[in-house]
Chains A and B, each alone.
Chain A
Amino acid sequence: MEVARKPKLAVWKFASCDGCQLSLLDCEEELLTIAGAVEIAYFPEASRAVLKGPYDISLVEGSITTPHDAERIHQVRRASKFLVTIGACATAGGIQALRNFRDVREFHRVVYASPHYIETLNKSTPIADHVFVDFELRGCPINKHQLVEALNALLHGRKPNTPAHSVCTECKRRGIVCVMVANGTPCLGPVTHAGCGALCPAYHRGCYGCFGPKESPNPASLADWWSRHGASDPQLVRLFRSFNAYAEPFRRESEAHEQSSS
């Protein structure tokens, strides 16, 4: 009788904080079950053991910021059957994409005494700018329950259930009082992709956009409402320009307010 081979799982890191891959180790109750369902073939943060590819599922964390990584991602793609990007760095360029709006050489000089030791690209870019991505998990960080759902779905050959509607929808479902309507607190909920469970409003704070833009958002309208609540253009630039600053709808909106403030 032929014994079914366990699917091979690989976890890759590019420019990032390690938080999204840590989400896998933060699945304390599911970790040993997951390790039973797949063969953890490449996961340097957790294991010395390295198994050769190809890999059935590759989780890719981080953005592309160096010439070396721009090459390496193609090797990862070639070795992977199913490539899933995890987190805002991989899906939008991350917080380090703030360099995309500035002169990166000047950035070197601020952080490093001898900038010529450092090799880096002018822009921090998402994985999908370089290779084909099969599925993406949003968030800064990702939601670990969505990670388990995505792995479970892929192992069973179905589409992961990770809705693309807004944080507002999650907020209403939880019965949370709207922080913008009730308190005038600027909130990115109407334009932000669901997935966190409306965490910030539940803690009496406005959403700050960890999961990036939702499907077909209207950031210009939201910015208009904020302006009426007294938000200045420089404030609007900062609000749209954080962990998903280089995601198209947020980028365009921040640039519009940068122009009107200069």
Chain B
Amino acid sequence: MSNRAVRVPYLARVEGETALEIKIKDGNVNDVRLKIFEPPRFFEAFLRGRDYSEAPDITARICGICPVAYQMSSVHAMEDAFGAKVEGPLRELRRLLYCGEWIESHVLHIYLLHAPDFLGFQDAIQMAQAHPAAVERGLKLKKIGNDIVQLLGGREIHPINVRVGGFYRVPTERELQTLVEPLQWAVEAAEETVRWSSTLPFPNFERAYEFVALRHPEEYPFCEGRLVSNRGLDIAVREFEEFFLEEHVPYTNALHSAHRKRGAYHVGPLARYNLNYDRLTPRAQAAAQSAGLPPICFNPFKSIIVRAVETLYACEEALRIISQYTRPAEAAVTMTPRAATGFGCSEAPRGLLYHRYTLDDQGLITSAKIVPPTSQNQKTIENDLREFVPTVMHLSDDELTWQCEQAVRNYDPCISCATHFLKLKVTRE
């Protein structure tokens, strides 16, 4: 009995193909492997020779769940290379688009992918029979996020309206006004989501993470700021590769990213929240407080509450942007290509997404580097399991496996992204 194996050959409710293998010997966790068998697609290789203007559309196809994140990191990298700055209403519209993606992605994960674990259901469809009001609220809230992306981006998945320098067409004030009433409901629904998610049963589990996220002087971060951590990291985006390294390990198709000196680190909602609590709106802070979520939280299972807090923030931020919006005369800033290297980092719903491009004087890409959030979290997910499994070792194989899956889903891993990336297997020898 002391030698066991947990094997999940195809981890469900994550985006992409992953297996998990855990080996337990004499009651100790011997090995934890998150094996990503998602086939590699070689984006960084075929981006070479493409025009700078194609990067937002091509890199969006890395991930159907967070295409806006890819579009935002790539346009910022290109604009960095060309020394261009996108400001005013165009910058605000980019934040609005990102609000839409945070809402749809976070709410998808909260209600459809993660909550069923806490409540013991195989999926949200089963959960809907016992908790119809919650699932219906989730679906309606998710749709409002998608409505923002659709209005501004043309469609929910792989939006067509984002370009280096801005947009192809900017919305009228009246078009954005159609979002106001649904968003006013969404603020209330997000507040209820914070309260509802805080009533779920949480394992008493904490780890001393190094959280890494963007930090901006005034705003809760989307696309701009410095890279900071709770252990003194404070660097410009362009210094990312000096401090972080991607490693290739044999059992997975995803590269593992690590801090060159300190190893594993943690990106995503929990990291952003811990490092940027003071940048949240008063209402989002108050919702966290009444849900019993302190400004500093090291319990990864509570990331579901943090996602709800960020959803509330995104709904409020979207309303603010719409109320202050005046349609700009030009839909985009004109770009003048030059030979240069540009760096871009944005906060995808799952965490930091780094892009670096080198361009020739015609604006053609000569080299590309993309580090998605799930690559960065892989080591941390494995380390979590090493410490979490001993606390649930008394459970049956089925229950133990499910708990391990839930622990992985804390990170809302996106395997499609990380392959350039996830399946569970626990062995008790």
Residues of B within 8 A of A14 (CB): 39
Q: How many residues of A contact B (CB 8 A)?
A: 61
Would B39 and A120 count as touching, CB distance under 8 A? Answer: yes
Quick check: which of B156-164, B177-185, B223-231, B236-244 contacts chain A, the rest being far away? B156-164
How many whole Å from A149's CB to the nearest CB in chain B?
Answer: 16
Quick check: which of B51-59, B314-322, B377-385, B389-397 contacts chain A, the rest being far away? B51-59
How many whole Å from A242's CB to the nearest CB in chain B?
Answer: 7
B296 at the binding interface (Cβ < 8 Å): no
Would A32 and B125 count as touching, CB distance under 8 A? Answer: yes
Residues of A within 8 A of B234 (CB): none
Would A65 and B140 count as touching, CB distance under 8 A? Answer: no
Q: What is the chain A residue whose CB lies nearest that of B18?
A: A44
B: contact size bracket: 35 or more
Residues of B within 8 A of A29 (CB): 139, 143
Would B146 and A28 count as touching, CB distance under 8 A? Answer: yes
B112 at the binding interface (Cβ < 8 Å): yes
Would A18 and B125 count as touching, CB distance under 8 A? Answer: no
Question: In the docked arrangement, what's the CA distance between A115 and B263, Å?
Answer: 23
B202 at the binding interface (Cβ < 8 Å): no
Question: In the docked arrangement, what's the CA distance between A95 and B61, Å?
Answer: 8
A251 at the binding interface (Cβ < 8 Å): no
A20 at the binding interface (Cβ < 8 Å): yes
A83 at the binding interface (Cβ < 8 Å): no
Q: What is the chain B residue whose CB lies nearest that of A95?
A: B61
Quick check: which of A73-81, A104-112, A129-137, A220-228 contacts chain B, the rest being far away? A104-112
Would B42 and A107 count as touching, CB distance under 8 A? Answer: yes
Would A110 and B143 count as touching, CB distance under 8 A? Answer: no
B247 at the binding interface (Cβ < 8 Å): yes
Residues of A within 8 A of B140 (CB): 28
Residues of A within 8 A of B126 (CB): 47, 49
Quick check: which of B7-15, B208-216, B265-273 contacts chain A, the rest being far away? B7-15
Would B13 and A46 count as touching, CB distance under 8 A? Answer: yes
Would B57 and A208 count as touching, CB distance under 8 A? Answer: yes
Checking A15, A19, A45, A200 against B157 with a beta-carbon cut-off of 8 angstroms, the contacting residue is: A19
Would B40 and A141 count as touching, CB distance under 8 A? Answer: no
Would A17 and B122 count as touching, CB distance under 8 A? Answer: no
Checking B10, B67, B108, B160 against A25 with a beta-carbon cut-off of 8 angstroms, the contacting residue is: B108
How many whole Å from B375's CB to the nearest CB in chain A?
Answer: 12
Residues of B within 8 A of A28 (CB): 139-140, 142-143, 146
B87 at the binding interface (Cβ < 8 Å): no
How many whole Å from A238's CB to the nearest CB in chain B?
Answer: 6
Question: In the docked arrangement, what's the CA distance between A215 and B414, Å?
Answer: 36
Q: A46-B112, A199-B160, A203-B161 are in contact. List 19 more A-B contacts (CB 8 A).
A: A17-B61, A18-B16, A18-B63, A22-B64, A28-B146, A29-B139, A44-B13, A45-B12, A46-B13, A46-B124, A46-B125, A48-B122, A49-B122, A65-B40, A95-B43, A95-B61, A111-B42, A203-B169, A204-B169
A interface residues with partner B (beta carbon < 8 Å): 13-23, 25-26, 28-29, 31-32, 35, 40, 44-49, 65-66, 69, 94-96, 98-99, 102, 104, 106-108, 110-114, 117-118, 120, 140-141, 196, 199-200, 202-205, 208, 210, 235, 238, 242-243
**21 pairs from A and B in contact (CB 8 Å cutoff):** A16-B416, A19-B64, A19-B158, A44-B11, A46-B113, A46-B123, A47-B123, A48-B12, A48-B402, A95-B46, A96-B41, A99-B42, A111-B44, A112-B248, A112-B255, A117-B249, A199-B160, A200-B160, A204-B168, A205-B163, A205-B168
In order of increasing CB-CB distance, the 9 nearest A-B pairs are A19-B64, A47-B123, A107-B45, A49-B122, A28-B143, A98-B46, A205-B168, A110-B45, A96-B41
B interface residues with partner A (beta carbon < 8 Å): 10-17, 38-46, 48, 50-51, 54, 57-58, 61-65, 67, 104, 108, 112-113, 122-126, 128, 135-136, 139-140, 142-143, 146, 154-158, 160-161, 163, 167-169, 246-250, 253, 255, 331, 402, 405, 414, 416, 420
